[in-house]
Amino acid sequence: MHHVFVDFENVQEIDLGSFTGKPIEVTILLGKTQKRLEVSLVQEFLKHPGEVTLIEMTTAGKNALDLALAYHLGRAASRDPAGCFHIISRDTDYDPLVAHLRNAGTTVFRHDNFSVPAILGPAKPAGSVPTLRVTASPARTAGARDKVTVMAERLRKNGATRPKTQQKLLTHVRAQFQGQLQDGEVDKIVKTLVARRIISIDPKGKVTYSLSDGPSPA
């Protein structure tokens, strides 16, 4: 599931019609002074009552909406640790948050614009990795190291957020490599994790890990 959080004070151009039927939930945060919305946009909201949530700020202030967005994103990440999270804003002040969450094992991006192809596809989003020089993601390191080893290390370091079912694990692996894997590659990584006895999957799809929390031994 892709969870999209829109800083509506910063980005007002939203094309909701293009994600019909796709696994996306959109939360739009409105500033306290934003009292009017375009009729066409409201009509789009009404067409997607189950996928779109509006949150209106009741107080104004510097970074008030930014902090609220961070709060709601954190709540969503705790509910869906295997999800993929997106911040829609041209405000680079979100980049340290993106870097922090990535280092904690959350798959998160910042986009300058609301674009469903960019959100769902492998297009490179705006964000903190090149600017802040944070630790490279598995997608960047896998060319030099075995992708299965990279995935095992990520799972080992993030014991509290490991997917509990096979389907969620498949989604999690695909998200970790930022859309650069084909479905067959994702399946192969999971099967290799099983073959190496890093994980086991029972007939009901429940995943059990044979990993210790924390960094892998040198």
The string of DSSP letters for 88-146 reads E-S-GGGHHHHHHHHHTT-EEEEESS--HHHHHSSPPPS-SHHHHTPPPPHHHHTTTS-
Mean local confidence (pLDDT), 30-56:
73
Q: What is the pTM of this model?
A: 0.53
User: How many domains are there within the chain?
Assistant: 2
- Decide if 115 is inside a domain: yes
- Give the end of a domain, one of 132, 148, 169: 132
For residue 14, the domain's CATH number is: 3.40.50
pLDDT at 141: 40
Residues in the chain: 218
For residues 17 and 70, which has the higher predicted lDDT (pLDDT)? 70
In this structure, are 49 and 90 located in the same domain?
yes
Question: HEC states along 29-51?
Answer: EECCCCCCCCHHHHHHHHHCCCC
Q: Give the span between the Cα atoms of 69 and 161, in whole angstroms.
A: 21
**Domain range spanning residue 113?**
2-132
In this structure, are 24 and 126 located in the same domain?
yes
Model confidence at 17, in pLDDT bands (50, 70, 90)?
low
Residue-wise pLDDT for 154-187, tens only, equals 888 877 778 889 888 888 888 787 667 766 788 8
DSSP 204: T
Q: Which amino acid is at 115?
A: S
